[in-house]
Amino acid sequence: LCAGGERSVSYEELKDLKKNNVIHIDVRERWEIDRYGKIPASVNIPLNELVEALQMNPTDFKEQYNQKMPAKSDHVVFSCFAGTRSKQALNFATSLGFS
């Protein structure tokens, strides 16, 4: 799991972060979610959709992903299967102005 500043967080740390309204975006592919399961209280946005999703109109984002669109100042954690895609997701979000 990747959090701001390219820092990795453990599952236990993520559980604590989620108590503080952290938005958890799982960037695995949909077939991975089907095969391995959804992480509770996460939103699945495959990595190849992420840049477009983070630039959507908030109403369209809510309709597409059934979740409020994160603001650029919100705390966001990205996860994937092994960590590579979550680091890419963090770089994409940072390049779009997310802090």
- Give the β-pairing of 23-26 and 76-79: parallel
Q: Check if the beta carbon of residue 80 is closer than 8 Å to that of residue 27.
A: yes
Annotated catalytic sites, by residue? Answer: 80
CATH topology of domain 11-96: Oxidized Rhodanese; domain 1 (3.40.250)
Sequence ranges of the domains in the chain: 11-96
In the predicted model, is pLDDT for residue 6 greater than 60? no
pLDDT per residue over 49-83, tens digit each? 999 999 999 999 999 999 999 999 998 999 998 88
CA atoms within 13 A of residue 45's CA, in its CB half-sphere: 31
Asked whether residue 1 carries a pLDDT value surpassing 70, the answer given is: no
